[in-house]
Amino acid sequence: MIDSELFDVKTAILGGGLSGVTLARLLAQKGVEVTVLEREPNFGGLCRSVLDSGFTFDIGGSHIIFSRDAQVLTFMNDMLPQNSQRNCRSAKIFYKGQYIKYPFENGLNQLPKDDLFFCINEFIKTLIAVEKGKLPSPGNFREWIIHTFGKGIADLYLIPYNEKIWKFPTEQMSLHWVEGRIPRPPVEDMIKSAIGIETEGYTHQSVFSYPRKGGIEALVKSIASPVKKFIRTGFNVSSVRKEGEQYLISDGDNIIIADSCISTIPLQRLLESLENVPESVRKSCNELKYNSIACVFIGVRGKLQDISWMYVPDKELGLFNRVSFPSNYSPDVAPAGHSAILAEITYHEGDGVSEMPDRKIIDHVIKALKNMNIIKDREDIVYTALQRHRFAYVIYDLDYQKNIAVVKDFCAKLGIGLVGRFSEFEYLNMDGCIRNAMNFVRNINEG
Ligand SMILES: Cc1cc2nc3c(=O)[nH]c(=O)nc-3n(C[C@H](O)[C@H](O)[C@H](O)COP(=O)(O)OP(=O)(O)OC[C@H]3O[C@@H](n4cnc5c(N)ncnc54)[C@H](O)[C@@H]3O)c2cc1C
């Protein structure tokens, strides 16, 4: 590489999504010299938003700000002092043509009577069997769902929905990530829900905030503001080589020499850029499962129902698993008198959706939303667009824990820090990414 330009930096951060810019900000606050290397023309990753024709859409799917982690929630809210709208969640499940309150177990009395009986009867039967020790402990995600909610809620909603979003059989998924995180709903709440007394589930998310202007990207932009000058966009990391105690990082044209290297890019991409990766490590990395997403953006004339977002478990209704209504989070994301709709379709590379042209996917979504009476008239549509992302959700299959341990161990030996959703290869929301960036910086300080 005779023509390459060489740059010396202290800490190189690979990837300028939320994790990369948060790390940069926190490290810079500690006086560490950082450079963020981001391959796209704009930083923000899955948290970017597109402003077009008066509409603002989150390109990585609909995003809201919420957290159980008080420190992280304060951090996020502090980033948007004048630009935040608080909303009460009004999420639904579109079930047999009706809107059922979300979470499903909190909306049981809205179900047809037979379905309500099936859900509550199976819940109680399961509860008794578990209490008597007659039900073996679950060994996979599907069994965990049945064990926790009973066969009724499992068959009518949780299994079809989960299989629609993950595009993966639930019996081939691990349960390590849900066990202990989602408790069995209290029996009192189930009875209340069945007879129509209001109950609330996932209360940490029942009130959420959203930037008034600029979409979710406003959050990353604000986090990045003190370190913007250290973000180098258009730098597609294609090789990372350790020489002595330093890292040589290249995009094919330029070489960055760094004293330390933290990766927030997908593990698969990091491994592609490393030399001499043992076959066993490559194999484990290749076996890690994830899915991709197509996000369909639709702008319509007029006002829509006051629903934040809805889950659509039924495969027959449409390819999308979730449809959100961002103009109900902030009126400023659509022109006056208009509304915004964002439909999310997950898929795997090589499957039917991955091969469908964008226009066909958009037409499918419009037709399905018209059948569901969400779009009243095609004439109301004033804007459509679509964005795809290869890395959308980590899928925890049964071999996940074995494979991820091999890959992380290899990266640790190289001294490359891993922070972020696809770098740690964990189901991290924004709060999880920020928490892990905070912990990473704290550990460096203590180390
Ligand atoms: C459909 C959907 C909805 C979501 N909704 C919510 C929500 O409501 N609330 C919430 O808290 N979280 C939500 N999330 C999660 C949230 O988007 C992620 O937690 C967060 O954006 C992950 O940030 P990251 O920086 O770790 O990863 P990314 O955003 O993936 O960033 C990685 C960055 O690395 C860059 N990169 C990749 N390869 C290279 C390379 N070779 N060289 C240089 N740069 C590279 C990418 O361009 C990208 O900018 C949602 C996610 C999805 C998919």
* Residue 185 confidence (pLDDT): 86
**Domain 5-45+68-78+215-286+399-446 belongs to what topology?**
FAD/NAD(P)-binding domain (3.50.50)
Domain ranges of the chain: 5-45+68-78+215-286+399-446, 103-201
What is the pTM assigned to this prediction?
0.96
Query: What is the C-alpha separation between 83 and 76, in angstroms, rounded?
Result: 12
pLDDT, tens only, 375-406: 999 999 999 999 999 999 999 999 999 999 99
Of the two residues 60 and 199, the one the predictor is more confident about is 60
Whether 346 contacts 310, CB under 8 Å: no
Answer yes or no: is the C-beta of 58 below 6 A from any ligand 1 atom: no
Nearest to 224 by CA among 441, 445, 10, 434: 434
Q: How far is the CA of 427 from the centre of ligand 1 (A)?
A: 11
Query: What is the C-alpha separation between 435 and 73, in angstroms, rounded?
Result: 10
The dihedral of CA 277, 278, 279, 280: what is its sign?
Answer: negative
Answer yes or no: is the C-beta of 421 below 6 A from any ligand 1 atom: yes
* Residue 1 confidence (pLDDT): 38
Query: What is the C-alpha separation between 85 and 214, in angstroms, rounded?
Result: 12
Residues in the chain: 447
Centre a 10 Å sphere on the Cβ of residue 245 and count the other Cβ atoms it contains.
8
**103 upstream amide cis, omega within 30 of 0:** yes
Question: Apex CA 49: angle with CA 45 and CA 51, to 5°?
Answer: 145
Nearest alpha carbon, ligand 1 atom 53: 392
> For residue 2, is pLDDT > 50?
no
Q: How far is the CA of 336 from the centre of ligand 1 (A)?
A: 30
The span from the first CA to the last CA of the chain, in angstroms, equals: 36
Answer yes or no: is the C-beta of 120 below 6 A from any ligand 1 atom: no
Q: How do beta strands 246-250 and 55-58 pair?
A: unpaired
* Residue 8 confidence (pLDDT): 75
At 212, list the tokens. 């008034």
Residue to probe by mutation, ligand 1, list 253, 265, 328, 344, most atoms within 8 Å of CB = 265
pLDDT, tens only, 27-50: 999 999 999 999 999 999 999 999
Q: How far is the CA of 47 from the centre of ligand 1 (A)?
A: 6
> For residue 72, is pLDDT > 70?
yes
| Mean predicted lDDT score pLDDT of the chain | 96
| Position 5 confidence tier, pLDDT thresholds 50, 70, 90 | low
pLDDT, tens only, 279-317: 999 999 999 999 999 999 999 999 999 999 999 999 999
Q: How far is CA 168 from CA 142, 163, 389, in A?
A: 11, 6, 18
Query: What is the C-alpha separation between 87 and 106, in angstroms, rounded?
Result: 19
Q: What is the mean pLDDT of residues 81-101?
A: 96
Query: What is the C-alpha separation between 30 and 13, in angstroms, rounded?
Result: 15
Percentage of residues in the chain having pLDDT higher than 70? 98
Nearest alpha carbon, ligand 1 atom 14: 429
Q: Which residues contact 197 (CB under 8 A, 6 or more apart)?
A: none
pLDDT, tens only, 111-128: 999 999 999 999 999 999
Q: What amino acid occupies position 246?
A: Q
* Residue 4 confidence (pLDDT): 58
Match 């001499």 to its residue by tokens.
Answer: 276
pLDDT, tens only, 159-177: 999 999 999 999 999 999 9
Percentage of residues in the chain having pLDDT higher than 90? 93
Query: What is the C-alpha separation between 395 and 428, in angstroms, rounded?
Result: 12
